[in-house]
Chain A
Amino acid sequence: MSFLEIENLLVKAGDKTLLSNISVRMEKGEVLGLIGESGAGKSTLGLASIGFLRPGCRVASGEVRLMGQSLLAMSQEELRQLRQRKVAYVAQSAAAAFNPFYRLEDQVTELRALQKQVSRPERRDIACSLFERLQLPDPEKFCRKYPHQVSGGQLQRAMIAMALLNDPELIVFDEPTTALDVTTQMEVLRVIRHVISEQQCAAIYVSHDLAVISQISDRIVVLRNGEIVEQDETRRIIEQPAQDYTRALVAHRKVGEFAGQPPEANAVIEARSLDLGYGANKVVSNVDLQIACGEIVALVGESGSGKTTVARSIAGLLPPRAGTISMNGKKLADNIDHRADDIRRRIQFIHQLPDVALNPRQTVRTALSRPLRKFLKLSGPSLQDRLNALMDEVELSRELLDRYPGALSGGQKQRVCIARCLAAEPDILICDEVTSALDALVEDSILKLLWRLQQQRDIGILFITHNLGVTRRFAHSVVIMERGKIVEQGSTEDVFADPKQDYTKRLLASEPTTRRGWLDDQLAAKV
């Protein structure tokens, strides 16, 4: 008998099938990784293993046995007792999963207070010792804080502390580092690894990031559209994937696909000693940046580094406090409202979230026609021809022209946004984290599309990203920002091969890879 046995599980929400034909086993002390893109059903499976279904979901058939007991045969009260005592769950967004009304100590020790009479000072001691175990600074003070008063990484660790309260036999980690920056992710991963080995418990680790999963788990289950693609030992999956889908996922991480040396050309856009800020906050200081014709410049940094702020300023959305932005040697107006239509046409901006960058009440045709009419003065048949050509260029079916954005997938929406920018026939494309909301394989296809378009049209691209892997294989040159300042810049090859600054080194080291023992090396290096 295994520790956890799931057999032929079928989970439905209404008529929709969330999971089907799922059979998984895991042993005590094992770490099982669940990987898949959004909508693959990995969270649903993770929750089902601890006897929880989201409201509206039901198990249509199959069996879930944990430590020899059938969870489906248990009453609601028995399941609650199980979740209180034997299993625990760590949610993706700690900021949303902590109740804003209570102090951290009260929430973390809530279950203890429920089970037996524990005095408040005792509860605080319990909380403090948990926080200490997770290496949170100043546990005494940390106890007293409310969730909104601590940082994201700390809150995620507090949530892991909450999971450890009753020494669970099984912990489900549901994308615990997805919302975090790479360097913070590193700290949390270290804590998770530490906790799992110290606790000797079993764990299910849910993630969309193959690199992270491969470092943490012993075995991997690959999920897609609610079904298992394949499952096996981590090493086998990474080194010899059996299925096409898994192969594509693994290949996604391979480096050096297209980028080369930056082209020898004059700068089209040049920003000089930019100082930027919102209200009383100065966000960016003294930034110099150049983008040449046909060059892809990656602007890399963690959240709060000011990378998006720089991009918005170049686009004319945030007038600089000091410094100038010029195009082909001529100074541009700071504010987009004061720039000429021709300048507006030449610099195009693609937003991070295609969901909100497209008006839900405008068809694709309307969205694409507007720049064609406004900038190129097209109408009638020539407009229609151009629309069709644009759809072909971004590899979308022409039939989609009369759909509303609501009927498109995330990747399709982002392609429409790209087409809308291309319609203006720009010289410079500013891409603000354009792939970070997309699944790995979709991200790949969008990057390939951008690469091809850039090659064909010789456009300069300013590519804002937090993702070093993408940078490495996509950009000619790279600019690394930290807390509003540029710390290092140069050709991608040079910077990645031989980083000069400590921050760059740390950033590069924190980027997870699927290499065996990467996490252990990182942990060893820390100590």
Chain B
Amino acid sequence: MNRHSSASFLLSVCVLTGLVLVAIFAPFVAPYSPTDVLAAPFAMPNADNLLGTDALGRDLLSRTIYGLRYTLGIATFVTVVACALGVVLAIMAAVRKGWLDMVIGRGVDSVMAIPQIIFALIVLAVAGISLTTLVCTMIVLEATLFFRILRASAGDIAAMDFIEVARLRGEKLPWYIFREILPNLAPTLIAEFGIRFAYASLFISALSFLGVGIQPPEADLGGLVRENALAISIGRTAPLVPAFVIAAIAVAANGIVDWFVHKYSIRSELGQ
């Protein structure tokens, strides 16, 4: 492990932890209420409003801090639920095979035959835009991706002779999941979790940016970019602030994954 990648790993961890803490303690961290109109629209950054104001003259910093809550909250919830779903389905499919594997596999293939954002747009159009629909749709989409990756890895592990040894011994499903497969799947799973978390943050932001995600007056980071999009044409950078925060989340998550993957592959090379 070289010094450079450890440094970028540490930086990533710090950034992500910092953002999470800010989101959790938003009411204490934010200088103003996110809904108070304080100054002229699109005010330049100044001593009162560190990042300037938005299209209605609200404090951009405070709005970004509250927006962060939405983005991180949704991304975390979606990723955790989708991961749990994906893991259970993937291992069940890999161990049991047969019709169950085929049904889940076919279902996942069908969902994946539609580009993700298009799938989300269709569901949102049909079911109407609401937080529940949004979260459920994202869980379905993320779970299919988890399933695809984990089914392949779990399949490789399930093809190993030690799984056959367990079968010869007459083990039951929980033993397979927790004692045989999951410990071997852990590195893949952790890396995939990071990637999917970054993706979920980008995805919810994109939907809100398009106006089909979190609805005003509430706003997540993507929604803030949308609200302030007009400023860009008059040369102000207001929409760039929340956009940079989104990028920071994704970069930090991917940075941690990178370090992890790198470290793990080195270990597996020297392991034997």
Contacts and interface: CB of A to CB of B under 8 A. Distances in A.
A371 B169 contact: yes
Interface string A310-322: 0000011100000
B162 A357 contact: yes
Given A362-B179, A406-B271, A406-B272, A357 B170 contact: no
B118 interface: no
A431 interface: no
Given A406-B271, A406-B272, A358 B162 contact: yes
Contacts of B168: 315-317, 336, 344, 348-349
Interface in B140-188: 160-162, 164-165, 167-170, 179-180, 183-184
A344 B183 contact: no
Given A351-B164, A406-B272, A359 B180 contact: yes
Interface in A339-383: 339, 341, 344, 348-349, 351, 353, 356-362, 370-371, 374-375
Contacts of A349: 165, 168
A337 interface: yes
- The secondary structure that dominates the B interface is helix
A370 B171 CA distance: 10
Given A337-B170, A339-B170, 17 more contacts: A317-B168, A336-B167, A336-B170, A341-B170, A344-B170, A348-B168, A349-B168, A351-B164, A356-B160, A357-B160, A358-B162, A359-B179, A359-B183, A359-B184, A361-B183, A361-B184, A375-B169
Interface of B: 160-162, 164-165, 167-170, 179-180, 183-184, 271-272
A344 B169 contact: yes
Interface residues of A, number: 25
B103 to A, nearest CB: 21
A408 to B, nearest CB: 10
A360 B184 contact: yes
Given A360-B184, A406-B271, A406-B272, A337 B167 contact: yes
A316 B272 CA distance: 32
Contacts of A337: 167, 170
Contacts of A362: 179, 183
A370 B178 CA distance: 14
Contacts of A374: 169-170
Contacts of A406: 271-272
A360 B268 CA distance: 11
A420 B168 CA distance: 12
Contacts of B162: 356-359
A349 B166 CA distance: 11
Nearest to B162: A359
A140 B169 CA distance: 53
Q: Pick from B164, B168, B180, B271 the residue with the most CB of A within 10 Å.
A: B168
A361 to B, nearest CB: 4
Contact of A356 (B161, B167, B272): B161
A360 B272 CA distance: 10
Contacts of A341: 170
Nearest to A315: B168
Contacts of A351: 161, 164-165
B267 to A, nearest CB: 10
A317 B161 CA distance: 12
B2 to A, nearest CB: 16
Given A341-B170, A361-B184, A317 B272 contact: no
B183 to A, nearest CB: 4
Contacts of B167: 317, 336-337
Contacts of B272: 406
B55 to A, nearest CB: 54
A336 B183 CA distance: 25
A188 B179 CA distance: 46
B127 to A, nearest CB: 42
Contacts of B169: 344, 370-371, 374-375
A361 B180 CA distance: 8
A361 B268 CA distance: 12
B81 to A, nearest CB: 26
A231 B164 CA distance: 45
B159 to A, nearest CB: 9
A374 B167 CA distance: 13
